[in-house]
Amino acid sequence: MIIKNNNTFHLQGRNISYIMAVDSFGNLIHIHYGRKLHDKDYDKTNTKYVNWAAYDENNITLENTQQEYPSYGHTDLRNPAYTVKNVDGNSISQLKYKDYTIKENYIPEIEGMPSLFIGNKSAQTLEITLEDKISGVEVVLSYSVFDDYDVILRNTRIHNISDSTIEIDSAYSANLDIAKGNYDLIYFSGGWGREREFCRSEIQQGAKIDISNARGGSGHTLNPFIMVSEHNADEDKGNVYGFSLIYSGNHSSMIECDQYGNIRVQQGINPFMFKWTLEKGESFVTPQCVMCYSENGIGGLSRELNDVYRTNLCRSKWADKDRPIFINNWEATYFDFNETKIKEIAREATNLGMELFVLDDGWFGQRNDDHAGLGDWVANPERLPNGIKGLSERIEAMGIKFGLWFEPEMVNPDSDLYRAHPDWAISVPNRISSLSRNQLILDLSRDDVCDYIITAVSDVLKSANIEYVKWDMNRPMTDMPYEGYNHKYTLGFYKIMDAITGAFPNILFEGCSGGGGRFDAGVLAYIPQIWTSDNSDAAARLKIQYATSMGYPVSAISAHVTAVPNHQNGRITSLKMRADTAYAGVFGYELDITKMSDTELAEIKKQVETDKKLRTLMRTGDFYRILSPYETNYCSWEMVSKDKKEVFFYSAKIFSVANSHDIRIKLKGLDAEAKYMDTVTGEVYGGDELMYYGVEPKYDMHDFAPVLQINERMINYRNNKNII
């Protein structure tokens, strides 16, 4: 609901209020974002004069004022939400309120970029127009709110209403000024094989922190999702603000704490190497920022954000469907395969109950290693004499579906495509192009390049019954030819994704970028799942998947059971540990099952059967994190169905400890008045017992010892007087 009361705008979600007001001088002032408040005129603007600070002709000091979209100059010395270079060369701006519009049952689509959609929910959008008459700039702030969710959707449109050309040097999607308090910054850092590591630090006075990436995509190193939490907030309690950018390019989350302890949070396109020219009458639109608030800690915020992403972000039909259990041949064969070997793996997978076979890198062109073939999307007849169509038909005849790997944004210098079109690769004049993994990046800012990719990939997909595509992107962008290039590239990527996923709605697409290097909400808008990390080690995955779940649904986390010793770090974990960890995601395998023992194959068959029972719950339930592998020697979590009838509990002891004592773990989110039965042991527990007394998992005496428990509700006291 959006309420206009005199000069006050009040947005109400299910449990939240977002309030702003126009002061008597035309400044748009932030009032409140947090727990839901009753409606009244909250015009309590706090613009004030301070005699030792900069002040304007009205004795207003904006440096001490919470603002909605601050500009540079005119008494605010903090980081601006946008900067525009005027025709006279300066970047001074002063935005004043002009007008507003409220649109019912409406969420704006953002031109050329993904965004949340309204679906079958009720939502409203407020658009507030601010204007700088001197520079001829008009800024439209968009705020959307759902009736059933606790999120605010924000983005910004900048119009050039002058008679001259202007230059945008920075433009954040959203700005939030938070009044003085004790707050922490939570962000997700890392690198290849260590994606989205949980990081938390106190925001101290005078700090200016830029959580940003300039590697060409959202990146392995810093994710476009952050949280600002009260210092005492944990998984279950405390005020937490989340900021998630629906964008796959260079991003920035700027956090600034001023001399009074007030905090400014901004999120949007990274200003580094960004510049955008607007001619008279032209506009620039920023990506959508999803702001989420919860008074129920990190867990409450992530469950809220996960719900809205599962229902109102991804447009794929697979977003609401259970995903097939698949096997990928990459770690089984790498480039060393032929049609016979592929069919052997697929046949064994069918016998084990798997539902999809995925042919990974090496099926096309002269792709015998990393040095050649990218860009030539034609089957290699030496490896696949019957082509993709013939192979897919033979595999489908076994009773299993067929999928294929692509890396369409890349090209090898040793390829027919590069020899025909060397100018299609990103390059800087008079500079030698940088290689990574022996490949260059195609120039997605060009329509002809985008059209080639769309046509080449579509031709393959139309040539056979392909039911899954793994979309990879295996290198950073190190040499951008001009400022603003990365945004144009990102728009080209979205153009391609929109065209191909729209033309093939029945295909299940999965994202990948050197593992989890482009794990962001922008990708999830087109495809329902992303390969989370190239580090498939079950022990390492405890941290990777645990932290990833804070900002993204478990149903988006692709996880595989792979061979040991692990190919990324050499660690050996049990087959049970590998499967139990992978259940918390989109389940699959990536190893040579033709070389496994009968005992191992029997265990895999049972794992496949288990996941078929669990996958609906893992896709639709509420995820609770209990013990953090970042803070303890354990990793514990659970998934609870919306009706609280099913509970899937997982706990792993990371390192074996001599003479250790048992730990008691208290579950969360259950029906306290119900009885639950462990479907493995048959033991019955009360919901109150599980939550308030807890359970003592019996770990084996070795490192990386998992315990798995699937509970089903048997009796609800409120509905049945019979008590077991």
Task: Find out whether 246 and 494 touch, Cβ atoms under 8 Å.
Answer: no
Q: Dump the DSSP string for 453-512.
A: HHHHHHHHHHHTT--EEEE---S-----SSTTHHHHHHHHHHHHHHHHHHH-TTSEEEE-
Question: Catalytic residue among 132, 376, 534, 537, which?
Answer: 534
Task: Find out whether 709 and 678 touch, Cβ atoms under 8 Å.
Answer: yes
Neighbour tally for 348: CB within 10 Å: 19
- CA-closest candidate to residue 284, choices 446, 96, 110, 153: 110
Whose tokens are 């067929």? That residue is: 402
DSSP state for residue 264 in the 8-state scheme: E
Q: Dump the DSSP string for 43-57.
A: -----B--TTS---T
Enumerate residues 6+ apart whose C-beta is below 8 A from 103: 124, 125, 126, 127
Catalytic residue at 520? no
Distances, alpha carbon 550 to alpha carbons 185, 291, 314, 705, in Å: 14, 14, 18, 24
Q: Which two tokens stand for residue 271?
A: 């200003």
Task: Find out whether 608 and 637 touch, Cβ atoms under 8 Å.
Answer: no
Q: Which two tokens stand for residue 684?
A: 């019955």
Strand 646-653 vs strand 634-640: parallel, antiparallel, or unpaired?
Answer: antiparallel
**Burial grade of 101 (CB within 10 A; 0-12, 13-18, 19 or more):** exposed
For 333, the 3-state DSSP assignment is helix
Q: Which amino acid is at 474?
A: N
HSE value, Cβ hemisphere, 13 Å, CA-based, for 644: 17
Integer Cα distance of 617 and 711 in angstroms: 12
Catalytic residue at 622? no
Q: Dump the DSSP string for 622-643.
A: EEEEEE-TTTSSEEEEEEE-TT
Integer Cα distance of 251 and 268 in angstroms: 6
Strand 137-146 vs strand 326-328: parallel, antiparallel, or unpaired?
Answer: unpaired
Task: Find out whether 79 and 91 touch, Cβ atoms under 8 Å.
Answer: no
Q: Which amino acid is at 623?
A: F
Q: Which two tokens stand for residue 551?
A: 């900002």
Neighbour tally for 397: CB within 10 Å: 11
Q: In sequence order, which ranges of 652-713 are alpha helices (DSSP H)?
A: 687-688
Distances, alpha carbon 17 to alpha carbons 14, 64, 100, 144, 405, in Å: 9, 22, 19, 12, 45
Task: Find out whether 215 and 252 touch, Cβ atoms under 8 Å.
Answer: no
HSE value, Cβ hemisphere, 13 Å, CA-based, for 408: 25
Question: Catalytic residue among 76, 132, 361, 472, which?
Answer: 472
Known catalytic residues are: 472, 534
